[in-house]
């Protein structure tokens, strides 16, 4: 079968690509669009390292076909900072040492941003359950959870 032509929007910019009908969005992002910030840790939706926003809903890009991006709005880690100005979560992760190896970090940040966009004042328990699909093997999650809670407080303070 021929490749499919897909028109979509990625990080606010119109984008077109060709992909196999059974190709995942993660493979499209990484291998066709060179957006390698989304990572593959499992390919089965169990680690969250490939987290992206699909029409403002948090999803695993490994569990989505590239073809499904037709007409959709996709946001990836590459679109989180405003130019060289980091999102408060990114800045807080740096300041709080909320990453060690950094492989889970893009997915963790995309998921954490989705949480704070929806719930600006989450409890620790809410943060922990929201992020349960983002595996981190380095940190024990402590500094990640603190960074998310601290960022939420900071954003609320500014609002």
Partner 1 sequence: MTNIQYLAPTTLDEAVSLYAAAAGSARILAGGTDLLVQLRSGMINPGIIIDIKKIKELNSIEQKADGSFVVGASVSGTQLAKHSSFGKTWPGVLEALNLIGSTQVQGRASLGGNLCNGSPAGDSIPALIAAEATVNIQGPNGSRQLAVKDVLSGPGSTNLSQDEIAVNFIFPTRQLGSGDAYLRMIPRTEMDIAVVGCGVNLTLENNICTSATVGLGAVAPVVLEVEAAAEALVGNKIEEETLERAAEACRAVCNPIDDKRGTIAYRTKVAGVLMKRAATIASQRAEGA
Partner 2 sequence: MNKNKWIGERTIRPDGADKVTGRASFAADTTMPGMIWGSVLRSPHPHASIVNIDITKAASLPGVKAIVTAKDIVDFPFDTPAPLGIQDMRWMTRNVMAREKALFHGHPVAAVAATSEEIAAEACKLIEVNYEVLPWVIELEEAIKPNAPILHNILEFDGKPSNIAGTLEHKKGDIELGFQEADTIIERSFTTRPVHQGYIEPHACLVSVTADGKATIWSSSQGQFMVRAMTSMLTGIPQSDIRAIPAEIGGGFGGKTIIYLEPIATVLAQKSGHPVKMVMSREDVMRATGPTSGSMSKVKIGAKKDGTIVSVQGTFYLQAGCLPGSPIRGAAGCAFAPYDIPNVHSLGYDVVSNRSKVAAYRAPGAPIGAFAVESVLDEIAEEIGMDPLALRLKNAAREGTKAAHGPVYPRMGYAETLEAAIEHPHNKVALGNLQGRGVASGFWFNAGGESSAQVNVTEDGNVVVTTGHPDVGGSRASIANITAELLGIDYQRVSVLIGDTATIGYSNLTGGSRVLFASGMAVTDSTEKVIKSLRERAAIIWDIDPDAVTWEEGEARPAGANAGMFEPLSLEDIADRATETGGPIGAGAQLNTAGAEGGFATHICDVEVDIELGIVRILRYTSFQDVGRAVHPSYVEGQMQGGVAQGIGWALNEEYIYNKDGIVDNPGFLDYRMPVCSDLPMLDTVMIEIPNPKHPQGVRGVGEVPLVPPLAAIRNAIYNALGIRFYSLPMSPPVVLEALDISQAAE
- When asked if residue 88 is in the footprint of partner 2 (CB under 8 A), the reply is no
Q: Which of 73, 138, 154, 155 binds partner 2 (CB under 8 A)?
A: 138
With H, G, I as helix, E, B as strand and everything else as coil, classify residue 24: strand
- When asked if residue 139 is in the footprint of partner 2 (CB under 8 A), the reply is yes
The β-bridge partners of 5 are: 18
94-133 residues in contact with partner 1 (CB under 8 A) are 111, 114-115, 129-133
Instruction: For residues 48 and 42, give the distance between their C-alpha atoms in angstroms, rounded to a whole number.
Output: 9
Interstrand relation of 4-10 and 13-19 (parallel, antiparallel or unpaired): antiparallel
- When asked if residue 151 is in the footprint of partner 2 (CB under 8 A), the reply is no
Nearer of residues 97 and 120 to partner 1, judged by Cβ: 120
Instruction: For residues 37 and 138, give the distance between their C-alpha atoms in angstroms, rounded to a whole number.
Output: 18
Q: Which of 81, 117, 118, 123 binds partner 2 (CB under 8 A)?
A: 81
Q: Can you give the binding site for partner 1, defined by CB under 8 A? A: 1, 4, 20-22, 24, 43-46, 48, 51, 54, 57-60, 62-65, 67-68, 70, 111, 114-115, 129-134
């Amino acid at each position: 079968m021929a490749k499919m032509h897909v028109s979509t929007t990625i990080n606010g910019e119109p984008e077109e690509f060709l992909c196999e009908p059974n190709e995942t969005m993660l493979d499209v992002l990484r291998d066709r669009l060179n957006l390698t910030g989304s990572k593959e840790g499992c390919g089965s939706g169990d680690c969250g390292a490939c987290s992206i926003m699909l029409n403002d809903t948090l999803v695993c890009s490994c569990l989505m076909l590239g073809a499904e991006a037709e007409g959709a709005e996709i946001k990836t880690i590459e679109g989180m900072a405003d130019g060289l100005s980091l999102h408060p979560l990114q800045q807080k992760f740096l300041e709080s040492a909320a990453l060690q190896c950094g492989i889970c970090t893009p997915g963790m940040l995309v998921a954490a941003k989705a949480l704070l966009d929806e719930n600006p004042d989450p409890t620790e328990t809410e943060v922990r359950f929201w992020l349960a699909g983002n595996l981190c093997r380095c940190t024990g999650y402590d500094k990640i959870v603190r960074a998310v809670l601290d960022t939420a407080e900071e954003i609320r303070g500014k609002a």
